[in-house]
A = this chain, B = another copy of it.
């Protein structure tokens, strides 16, 4: 043990616990950068990953990151002792998976535990994710991983059982259907504690949309209390410490833009297991620009989710949906919140209402609130009766928003541009990728008012000069950037009656 290194506080915040020593002191301890080091601070001990430096920290000093300093109440110039410690066993298990072997429940549990306690570095977690990407996991391993991932964080204990849930594996812009499904299902008396994500690479996540109407960051106990009052909530999963290992896996996957199949399965089901769900409907959007390209792939996903659910004691029903174009007319937090609220207010039939009532109907049937085959009709009745709108206002209120808000009150971006068609023809394609990029360039999701509002639908005939869509933003600069990107990406494709392709030059005009 090296005694009495003088503490310096480092201005770093990189997730894991990094401790920095001068190279000389590290050599003296027989240690190398990336080894594990144990710190003894005021009778307590903590293990961190060692970083070494020639320059930043002098011999006799120890650099400790702000997080650790806060957690252990150590001050500049305090003295701490250190000792080399062995690598965690989980590294052996990661290597086992790299070698193509199966991991048992304890081994997967050790990996998950070391992930959430920052005992594995980002590089080591990347090795695990790479190994899973290449070698896969058995369904047995996937179930262990999902359970251990759920158990790595908070678990909801809800009074009213059974618990229902809904998930979309995503990939389609404009997917605000959760804002319809949850109030319909909750209005029918079923419990649905919906946790949603924020956008990472998409235009906006459900949590970003809901945040336009009410706060979405709550801890597990707060969620339980709210659900006990309203049957349902729409909150941000990342705020509740549910299945936190999964959040870390997703962060680590991000730079490589990989989404290993078995980790994707485990990710969804860990969150559902953590909220105590007993029945889950999973929306599988299929299309050329989503995760699922064809029916064969959709069926594989569905089979895997159902099998995984069985192993976890969760009944799963999958619904394959059209994912070849944006859902509804709006993309972007405020525009989508407005569209969803308006659908609850008017309950006019639209593709959005169709999809939402279809999925809500599955849950209503599972909950015994509707007879087999009558779920969708029942969902539509709840919507038309105004009960879903009333429930949504309750949910907004319980989450701390203004329950008297109407779709007209929602503020959208103060700058906008209209995009018109330069030709006539049929709308054969609206590119999801292009729509997402344009909405993000306009400022979505950080700028809640940014986004796109469509005036045409796929399959529709448009005349030359017809209004295709509007782009909104609260920043004139970002709007201009977004218009530039629109010209380059050309998100709406038209074809003539004779099916020859017409290049769709567009012209853009200020509001």
Contact = CB atoms under 8 A, between A and B. Distances in A.
A258 B98 contact: yes
A63 interface: yes
Contacts of A11: 8, 10-12, 56-57, 63
Contact of A13 (B28, B34, B56): B56
Given A27-B446, A256-B94, A13 B441 contact: no
Contact of A126 (B33, B56, B130): B130
A135 interface: yes
Contacts of A254: 32, 34
Contacts of A446: 27-28, 30
A504 interface: no
A121 interface: yes
A51 B14 CA distance: 7
Interface residues of A, number: 54
A124 B254 CA distance: 10
A252 B121 CA distance: 11
A255 B91 CA distance: 8
A257 interface: yes
Interface in A140-180: none
A383 to B, nearest CB: 34
A376 interface: no
B124 A256 contact: yes
Nearest to A255: B34
A154 to B, nearest CB: 20
A53 B65 CA distance: 13
A498 interface: no
Nearest to A133: B98
Interface string A197-238: 000100000000000000000000000000000000000000
Interface string A420-437: 000000000000000000
A333 to B, nearest CB: 12
Given A34-B254, A441-B30, A56 B12 contact: yes
Given A13-B53, A13-B55, A134-B98, A255 B124 contact: yes
Contacts of A255: 34, 87, 91, 121, 123-124
A489 to B, nearest CB: 15
Interface string A83-103: 000010001001100101000
Given A10-B12, A34-B255, A127 B130 contact: yes
B124 A251 contact: no
Contacts of A54: 13
Contacts of A100: 134
A258 B28 CA distance: 25
A107 to B, nearest CB: 16
Contacts of A33: 251
Interface string A438-462: 0011010110000000000000000
A397 interface: no
Which of A51, A100, A440, A446 gathers most chain B CB within 10 Å?
A446
Q: Which 10 A-B pairs have the closest CB atoms?
A: A130-B130, A27-B446, A13-B53, A123-B126, A34-B255, A13-B56, A122-B123, A126-B126, A127-B130, A123-B123
Given A10-B12, A95-B258, A134-B134, 12 more contacts: A11-B11, A11-B63, A12-B12, A12-B56, A13-B54, A14-B18, A32-B254, A34-B254, A87-B257, A91-B255, A121-B255, A130-B131
7 contacts: A12-B20, A27-B446, A94-B256, A95-B257, A95-B258, A124-B256, A127-B130
